[in-house]
Amino acid sequence: MIKIDDKKGIFLLYTKHSLMILQVIDGFVGMPYYGEKIRLAETEYLCRTNVRPFTPDKLSGEEISFQNTFPHAYPFYGCGNFRETAFRAEQENGTDTCCLRYIGCSTFKEKPKIPHLPQSFTKNCNTETLILYLHDEQAGVLAEISYTLFQDSDVIAQSVKIQNQGEYPVMLRRALSSCMYLEGDLELITLNGTWARERYIQREPVTYGVKSIGSINGTSSHVHNPFIAAVRPETTETQGEAWGMAFVYSGNFLACVEKDSQDKTQLMMGIHPETFCWELDSGKSFYSPEVLLNYSSRGLGRFSRNYHDFIRNHIIRSKYQYQERPVLVNSWEACYFDFDSEKLLCLADTALACGMDMLVIDDGWFGHREDDTSSLGDWVVNEEKIPEGMEWLGEQIQERNLKLGLWFEPEMISPDSDLFRKHPDWAVRIPDRGMTLGRNQCVLDLTRPEIRSYIFRSMADIIHEADVAYIKWDMNRQITEASTPSLPVHRQKEFFHRYMLGVYEIQERLLKTFPDLMIENCAGGGGRFDCGMLYYSPQIWCSDNTDACARAEIQLGTSLCYPPSCMGTHVSACPNHIIGRNTDFMTRAHVALAGTFGYELNLMRLKQAEIQQIQEQLKLYHAYSHLTREGSFYRLLQNAYHIAWQFVNPEHTETLVTLIQLRNKAFQPQMHLKLQGLIPDSLYKLDGKCYTGGQLMKIGLPVPPLWGDGVSSLFYLTIEMTEG
């Protein structure tokens, strides 16, 4: 609900449990409060800074001090604010000073569309949108700051539209999407790592100065995820305040936190300005990607579930979001590049015998690809491996009542490819400078429409020919030598954003052409795990590291923002192909059950007993996958020895608890695992014994001791129905 007091210049944005206050003071919009829903009386003082003793406040005519302490809702550069700013635009006279003053507002019942970008949407839910208009008459710039509230959520979607209303072009040097201000002691939570070790949780105090994370390699990256949270030092999973920002974007980003001299903390997020500049012609507009703002007064658990529900209901569009996903086996760790049609059909037969639904042919099915040195860009069947053709193979798969999936790396081109020999200029490069190879490949220039059309046609032809039901869209290298002949010299820094728009355009065309197609996004594993990709695909490959113990930590970190139902999770071979560890076969399945679930191993090498284990695992998947897709997720425990989590259905009548023992220790005391999300006075049944919900949450579930490292237990409890 949005309430506006025009006389006082107050805007109150109420979600289910939170309140954001925006206030106009002397022509500038500030954010004096964002937190728990409260009742207000006096509001005049909220944005008054009263800075002493250096200078008086703006009421006494001291503009600089006012600007440098005012909690700007969209901070700009050049008029006395010396903190990090969200907006900076170079004008015709060469200066980049701008002063954005409030000139009005609008409210809408519908959420305005953001052209060409992934974005939140409404579905069976009422929304309200507030747009604040901030204008610099001299620069001719109008900034429209948009806040959308959703009736069923505590998440607020924010974005910015910049219009050039002047006579001359302006160069946007900085156009971030969101800013919030907080007061008091805070700690910063980020999700960091590297390839095969993505999204590990880091929590640290917020101190004076600027702390930032980001990416400038062309993707949201393995190293930092486009998500941050600020929490009180006392905040835990179940209590305390937490605020968050999640970026609906998959390219270069910046997230920064600054604690200033007045003990106010500013959080900002948007496209990374180091690799961004945008020429905005007279009469044109620029749209920033959306940021999802989140607040919880009941700990990180509620905070995460706010994001989970919002992403499932308002970001993921796929019809598969709440459907049981097909269980697939991927050929990569089964065969790598060493396969032919006979081996693939044997793999399909074994998958069918196990009870699986889909065979996914990974890298190596196209061109003359025998290793990773050739053929990217040549999306035609490798006749040495599949001489009968892809249409024939698709028919063979369907005759076995299986579906066919294919791996693509559409954004790349191999120097050893027919496409490169025909169009060497299609690779991203700087003229008169050599190209840097990564994984023996170059990047296609997706800023150019003819290249995007080629990629779409190539993929669409093979999807149609073989009746492909699923594609894995991969992207295995960073972007270097960023340049394009499609733009003049002074606009080369538009490359990265235009490239990302090109990726989105191709995926959107595929989904419109093949509405039943399932896309699983991937970028060397988890290098593009973000809300932008989830707009086009209901799941993302979580990490190339499929070791169960490592994955448990990766998936738990990922769950801080993203719902488990979107995490691509597979049972893989042991010793694990990334880190060489052996873990129990059922433990690998228990970890994979907390995601999309599939297999990444050579089924043809399994013993009959192992095939029977897979059949048992599939029974577990079919019995419990509805909890992963629709249930609430709770992080119960994480230390050096154990990780535990829990799913609870929307009615709180059934729950699935997973305990992973990373490593054992001698003489462990009896563990009582405290559960969450249950009805306190109801009885829950496990193995013939009944416990009250309150008992399970306050005293805990008695857990039998586990023997060994990398082992696990699964507990399924249902509410005990009593007559009357």
pLDDT (tens digit per residue) in 573-610:
999 999 999 999 999 999 999 999 999 999 999 999 99
Question: Residues 379-396: what's their mean pLDDT?
Answer: 96
Question: Which residues sit opposite 406 in a β-bridge?
Answer: 361, 471
List active site positions: 474, 544
Closest CA to 528 of 510, 518, 545, 540: 540
The b/e string for 171-204 (b: 16+ C-beta within 10 A; e otherwise) is bbbbbbbbbbbbeeebbbbbbbbebbbbbbbeee
In percent, the amount of the chain with pLDDT more than 90 equals 89
User: What is the rounded average pLDDT of the residues 326-335?
Assistant: 94
Determine the pLDDT at residue 666.
85
**C-alpha 600 chain-centroid distance:** 23
Q: Tens digit of pLDDT for each residue in 547-559?
A: 999 999 999 999 9
Annotated domain spans of the chain: 2-314, 637-719
Output the pLDDT for position 668.
Answer: 81
DSSP 421-465: HH-GGGB---TTSPPPPBTTBEEB-TTSHHHHHHHHHHHHHHHHH
Are 249 and 503 within 8 A, CB to CB? no
Best CA proximity match to 265, nearest among 158, 184, 190, 204:
184
Mean pLDDT of 471-477: 97
Mean per-residue pLDDT, 167-184: 96
Q: How far apart are CA 713 and CA 56, in angstroms?
A: 64
Q: For position 56, what pLDDT does the model report?
A: 46
Reading the block at residue 635, the tokens are 């992080």
Q: What is the overall mean pLDDT for the chain? A: 94
Asked whether residue 34 carries a pLDDT value surpassing 50, the answer given is yes
Provide the pLDDT for residue 49.
Answer: 55
CATH number of 637-719: 2.60.40.1180
Give the per-residue pLDDT at 724.
40
Which pLDDT does position 61 carry in this prediction? 55
- CA dist 331 and 327 (Å) reads 13
Superfamily per CATH, domain 2-314 = alpha-galactosidase from lactobacil brevis (2.70.98.60)
Residue 411 near residue 443 (C-beta atoms within 8 A): yes
Q: Is a pLDDT exceeding 60 seen at residue 51?
A: no
Residue 62 pLDDT > 80: no
Token readout for 377 is 């860009």
* Contacts for 629 with CB less than 8 Å, ≥ 6 apart: 321, 322, 323, 324, 565
Considering only CA atoms, which of 407, 411, 403 is closest in space to residue 462?
407
Give residue 8's pLDDT band: very low, low, confident or very high (50, 70, 90): confident
Whether the per-residue pLDDT at 55 is higher than 60: the answer is no
Contact between 122 and 101 under an 8 Å Cβ cutoff? The reply is: no
Average pLDDT value for residue range 505-530: 97
| pLDDT score for 720 | 84
CB count, 10 Å around CB of 260?
Answer: 18
Q: Contact at 8 Å (CB) between 86 and 107?
A: no
- Residues above pLDDT 70, as percent of the chain: 97
Chain center to CA of 196: 17
Residue 430 clears pLDDT 90, i.e. is over it: yes
- Using the predicted structure, report yes or no on whether residue 58 has a pLDDT greater than 70: no
The tokens for 354 are: 């196990």
Proportion of the chain in helix, strand, coil states, percent, rounded to 5:
25, 35, 45
DSSP state letter for 669: P
Cα distances (Å, whole numbers) of residue 289 to 121, 250, 544, 659? 14, 10, 28, 38
Comparing 48-52, 175-179, 232-236, which segment has the lowest mean pLDDT?
48-52
Residue 292 has pLDDT above 80, yes or no: yes
Instruction: Give, for 530, the enclosing helix (H) or strand (E).
Output: none
Residue 54 clears pLDDT 50, i.e. is over it:
no
| Across 314-335, average pLDDT | 93
Judge if the upstream peptide bond of residue 326 is cis by omega within 30 degrees of 0: no
Spatial neighbors of 2 by CB under 8 A, at least 6 apart, are 11, 12, 13, 14, 107, 128, 130, 149
Ranges of H-type helices in 561-686: 585-592, 608-630
CA angle 148/518/153 to nearest 5° reads 20
The answer to whether the Cα torsion of 73, 4, 155, 502 is positive or negative is negative
Identity (one letter) of the amino acid at 546?
T
User: Each residue of 667-718: pLDDT tens digit?
Assistant: 888 899 999 999 999 999 999 999 999 999 999 999 999 999 999 999 999 9
What is residue 515's predicted lDDT score, i.e. its pLDDT?
96
| Residue 104, pLDDT above cutoff 80 | yes
CA 378, 379, 380, 383 torsion-angle sign: positive
The alpha carbon of 297 is separated from its chain's Cα centroid by a whole number of angstroms, namely 23
pTM passes above 0.85 = yes
Q: The tokens 């635009």 sit on which residue?
A: 89
pLDDT of residue 125: 79
What distance in Å separates the CA atoms of residue 713 and residue 706, rounded to the nearest whole number?
A: 8
Please confirm whether the linkage preceding 680 is cis (ω < 30° from 0).
Answer: no
Buried b / exposed e along 611-647 (16+ C-beta atoms within 10 A):
eebbeebbebbeebbebbbebbbbbbbbeebbbbbbb
